[in-house]
Amino acid sequence: MVLIAAAVCTKGGKTMISRQFIEMTKARIEGLLAAFPKLMTSGKQHTFVETDSVRYVYQPMEKLYMLLITTKTSNILEDLETLRLFSKVIPEYCRNLDEKEIIENAFNLIFAFDEIVALGYRESVNLAQIKTFVEMDSHEEKVYQAVRQTQEREAKQKMREKAKELQRQRMEFVKKGLGRNYGGNSGDAFGSSGGISSSSSISTSSITMADIKPSPTISKPAPSRNALKLGGKSKDVDTFVDQLKSEGEKISNAPVSAPSSASAAASRPKPDVVTDSVHLRMEDKVVVRIDRDGSLQAFELSGLLTLRIADEKLARIKVEIQNNDSKGIQLQTHPNVDKELFKTRGLIGLKNSAKPFPLNTDVGVLKWRWQTQDESSVPLTINCWPSENGEGGCDVNIEYELEHQRLELQDVCISIPLPLNSHPSVAECDGDYHHDSRKNILQWNIPVIDAANKAGSMEFSVPASIPGDFFPVQVSFSAKIPYADLKATQVVSVDDGSPVKFSTETVFYPDKYEIV
């Protein structure tokens, strides 16, 4: 096929975004787009319409059209398959399929269009690959965010220390009675002209609330009944919320915060644990990509052990690590950590034993990484099996099975994409499910997957669909047992070798887990 251009336009014929893929004048492409609404026949539905020179292939999307302009010699079946992929891309970046949302996300859509077609020919990509290419994850950005968070923590720590220092000064001045001289006529603290004398210098921070005389109470006028009332709910908001509830949407009363650069880090599971003065956090994350036929495309494990010390007396310590790994995971210590001590005795300690660890800072002392193509390394297998039912739709059977039974996966969510504007009919489900009609996703939720509940299945049917509509399947979960068989057994003092009380926190989660 030769694809001339792709465009999103309203049903009234207004073009919102357009991307051409072959060399053509602006006047020519504008003429082709302007001719499209004139060729539409009211009251009839088509998938394509032809002129003497080009073919228009389109798909309605609520109030919009996804339009492809191709040559008449192109394969119509390939045109329709490409059109279906274009139609899947738009809901990924636009929450609402309206003109405002399309214009706001125009650049992301154009970038996604460029990943689908190059020089007029379709690229061999799927929806998951398009999203990955457009995101363009940056290592430099992650380093910058980590440095910035460290700077913010140091600034907060200095602020707390300064506040404690000012509080001590206030208490000392109050005990000495110097605070009572503020505002008086005593020559000990003030000169005859009202300035501060050289024999005594008192900062404004030493003034306490008890030294300030309250001013006479001023009666406030009663607020007007017609005044603006902050925090009140308008009728429009209530009506909109009620409408969403009637459509089956779950409405949360929690305040919505503005998106920030730290939102990705905040989304990571952080178990509530009681932390001691010495706290160890083990973070294990995995990236898994599996073909729909079950073969493993990619498996990458990465982890980090961080140490946080809150008591200055416990800053000179060693951490003993028990390594029961048999897979060949690559371990790497921090440059300031004694590597020989770790290799021979499994202890994490500084090269200079007289030097303490930093205080009130998450210090990464050990990290690990492992890549493999062994299919037995996958902790949780997902088998999604859609089949056409002969009525224009598909019957989908999907099941899970825990392969590593020492793990306990919590809050498991298996997200299955659905065709646009479809409504699944669930016949059987182990666990709970939720249909997100806005994102066109069926979410299968399992509270716990462990050795006692290692397998489960769900069966549903979707009209007007093909098997490729239900991929990629995304999986998310959290666990308190790490994938890497590592464990901090004890913490000892460098000075006398006595054991030190410490707390541990372990989290294992998927950075990306998908079946494509």
Name the more confident of 140 and 323.
Answer: 323
pLDDT level of residue 245 (50, 70, 90 thresholds):
low
Q: What is the pLDDT of residue 364?
A: 92
Check pLDDT > 50 for residue 196: no
| Whole-number Å distance between alpha carbons of 177 and 205 | 15
Give the pLDDT of residue 347.
92
Per-residue pLDDT band for 303 (boundaries 50, 70, 90) equals: very high
Q: Are 445 and 483 spatial neighbours (Cβ–Cβ below 8 Å)?
A: no
- In angstroms, what is the C-alpha Rg of the chain? 32
Residue 270, pLDDT score: 53
Whole-number pLDDT of residue 284: 94
Least trusted range by pLDDT, from 7-16, 264-273, 500-509: 264-273
Question: Would you state the CATH architecture of domain 380-479?
Answer: Sandwich (2.60)
* Band (407; pLDDT cuts 50, 70, 90): very high
Answer yes or no: is pLDDT of 298 > 50.
Answer: yes
Task: Kindly tell me if the per-residue pLDDT of 224 is higher than 50.
Answer: no
Topology of the domain covering 3-135: Beta-Lactamase (3.30.450)
> Which residues make Cβ contacts (< 8 Å) with residue 349, sequence separation at least 6?
317, 318, 319, 337, 338, 341, 494
Topology agreement, domain 276-287+296-372+483-506 and domain 380-479? yes
For residue 32, pLDDT beyond 80: yes
Better pLDDT: 1 or 267:
1
Residue 35 is inside which H or E element, if any? Answer: helix 26-39
What pLDDT, on a 0 to 100 scale, did the predictor assign at position 180? 46
The residue among 429 and 224 whose pLDDT is bigger is 429
pLDDT at 253: 52
pLDDT of residue 178: 52
Q: pLDDT at position 370, please? A: 93
**pLDDT tops 70 at residue 464:** yes
Q: For the chain, which residues make up each domain, given as ranges?
A: 3-135, 276-287+296-372+483-506, 380-479
Q: What average pLDDT does range 374-380 have in this prediction?
A: 92
Check whether 12 has a pLDDT greater than 90: no
Query: Looking at residue 90, what is its pLDDT?
Result: 84
DSSP code for 359: B
| Highest averaged pLDDT of the listed ranges 80-84, 131-135, 184-188, 405-409 | 405-409
Question: What pLDDT was estimated at residue 255?
Answer: 46
**pLDDT beyond 90 at 19:** no
Residue 64 has pLDDT above 60, yes or no: yes
Looking at residues 61-81, what average pLDDT do you find? 83
Amino acid 422: pLDDT:
87
Arithmetic mean of pLDDT over the chain? 80
Q: What is the CATH number of domain 276-287+296-372+483-506?
A: 2.60.40.1170
Both structure tokens of 14: 């207004």
In contact, 47 and 58? CB cutoff 8 Å = yes
Can you give the pLDDT at residue 450?
A: 93
Burial of 168 (0-12, 13-18, 19+ CB in 10 A): exposed
pLDDT band, residue 175 (cuts 50/70/90): confident
Confidence of residue 35 (pLDDT cuts 50, 70, 90): confident
Share of the chain above pLDDT 70, in %: 79
Which strand ranges, in their side-by-side order, compose the sheet holding 380-388?
380-388, 394-402, 455-462, 425-429
- Among the ranges given (203-217, 235-249, 295-309, 480-494), the one the predictor scored with the smallest mean pLDDT: 203-217
Contact 333/339 with Cβ under 8 angstroms? yes
Per the structure block, which two tokens stand in for 198?
């050289």
| Per-residue pLDDT at 297 exceeds 70 | yes
